[in-house]
A and B are shown apart, each in its own frame.
Chain A
């Protein structure tokens, strides 16, 4: 399979076309704009530059540990005036999804307080799963008669949870074993972007244990699946995927997401994907052992360089 038109290293010319041919820019955050608390050079300037040029910006993140308001505040703190409706984060998205299916009932949520906040904002009831649910430190067995199980759980949601524990997995799986219990997951990223060598498990790691214990598969809401793009189009129906660019660092989520929705895709090498890994993938696609959707149209070192290209084109035409 030919990959000639893919993985093109961005030049000034390409940057200029991206600017001219597109109205909407979707940004992943972790690994693209920052590895918090380090904000990447040129990131905020790029956002402001695009906004000044009349572009619509959205932030499309699988990170379930922050609310729309958390992100809006963070952007404002670092110098970009973001409105909450520009933030398409997975905690908020979960609440929108439940709203869209007219969900009635109680949720057991394996996740952080951000999930609780976004779900309760839309009036949904959470019956447990947020924060620690500890065993005694000297425990060596589970006393099943001491478990506090809720009788009426209608939905189990799996997100990133720093307080994941055996008891929580047990409860999630037990609820999922009951009839008519919905199973949702914010996303299934296996790990989080890290600047050091430490591997931080992602929501996908938590989900793997809940899915294994329950023998059930969830509806996954985050990238690369559709719901985030659908949520944007619901509020902004004039967003045209053919005039949209998705900028991300992870091929399995960001790039696949963009390609599948019909947007252009731009990969940066500041996060989950190295140039070497992209090369390997490219070869696999050519041998038909990996799907084409993982390959971006363009790639660039970082958002700072994208900004430099844009500013150069402006200089050269002024």
Chain B
């Protein structure tokens, strides 16, 4: 294939998409569903690819998901998923701590999913999960009333709807101590949007901790490498040049795919419109944006991909 990018996927490409790729990595929000609706053709596509002998993984920055919960849900909606196909950031955080032989206690700004996944690998979250209330009439915080745990040597920042000033105090204070690790599940600034409101993402929470502490975390989610590395660790025969990343967001999914050496396929059903892609393409042309943001291929949505595969199947049947 040439060096061209943003190729509109159609019948002439589908042959090599199927012949040259054994492994399909899917982002979820904006690709397979737009909460609460599962996108047309999504489940059928997953089953179709599995039937064709392709390996399928779900690669999501959403730190509320667990391997167990998410695979269970996929089974309920018609796709027989195994937990090891779910590459989610709560799980990857536990894998990372395991890979560095981490010993100690964690302060984790996050939700129950983090407790579940870290707990599976024997890691203990001392504090940070759920509400940690500031008295409603408070106009100051008495710092000598705050309880700190001297055994904490890791601070993890994930999605947390109970984020508040007291939690940021604790995270930043732990981070000011020597030899305290700083991890973040991901830094997406918004979660997939509704029309009603902007939903702040993990990156928003992370930004407040980074500002207060003056420290930068090791970020585990897309577009960084750990999620693909974890797939290769568990499945050594997965090859980047025979893998395809399907996503809706340039700065996470597509950048992730391109940087790990995968073929990248952008769908327009989520975070990125055709207009936005065009804008980025022009910026790349002017050297004001990273060329790795551009997908190799693009397509309207997963339903169109399914239709192309099904047409090909008909041709060959």
Of A135, A196, A202, A209, most B-chain CB atoms within 10 Å: A209
Which stretch, B24-32, B116-124, B209-217, B296-304, touches the partner chain A?
B209-217
Q: A177-B198, A198-B173 are in contact. List 8 more A-B contacts (CB 8 A).
A: A162-B134, A166-B200, A170-B197, A170-B198, A171-B197, A199-B172, A199-B173, A207-B211
Residues of B within 8 A of A123 (CB): none
Known: A142-B199, A198-B173. A165 touches B164 (CB 8 A): yes
Q: Which of B160, B197, B201, B211 contacts A174 (CB 8 A)?
A: B197
B141-A162 in contact (CB<8A): yes
Complex CA–CA separation, A132 to B163 (angstroms): 13
Shortest CB distance A262–B (Å) = 29
Given the known A-B contacts A65-B139, A149-B196, A169-B200, are A137 and B130 also in contact in the complex, defined by CB atoms under 8 Å?
yes
How distant is the Cα of A213 from the Cα of B213 in the complex, in angstroms?
19
On chain B, the residues within 8 Å of A147 by CB distance are 196-197
**Is residue A205 contacting chain B, with contact meaning CB distance below 8 A?**
yes
A140 at the interface (CB under 8 A from B): yes
Docked-complex contact B143 and A200, CB < 8 angstroms: yes
Cα A202 to Cα B169 with chains together (Å): 10
Least CB distance from A277 to B in Å reads 12
- Which residues of chain B have C-beta atoms less than 8 A from A142's C-beta? 161, 199
Number of interface residues of A (CB under 8 A): 49
> Does B235 sit within 8 A of A, measured CB to CB?
no
Inter-subunit contact B173/A135 (CB<8 Å): no
Q: Of B64, B160, B190, which is within 8 A of A166 by CB?
A: B160
Residue B85 lies at the interface, judged by CB distance under 8 Å to chain A: no
Q: List 25 A-B contacts (CB under 8 A).
A: A132-B134, A134-B136, A135-B161, A137-B130, A140-B112, A144-B197, A144-B199, A145-B196, A147-B196, A147-B197, A162-B139, A163-B138, A164-B164, A165-B163, A166-B160, A170-B197, A173-B200, A196-B144, A199-B169, A201-B165, A201-B169, A208-B207, A208-B208, A209-B205, A211-B207
Given B134, B140, B146, B172, which contacts A201 in the complex, CB threshold below 8 Å?
B172
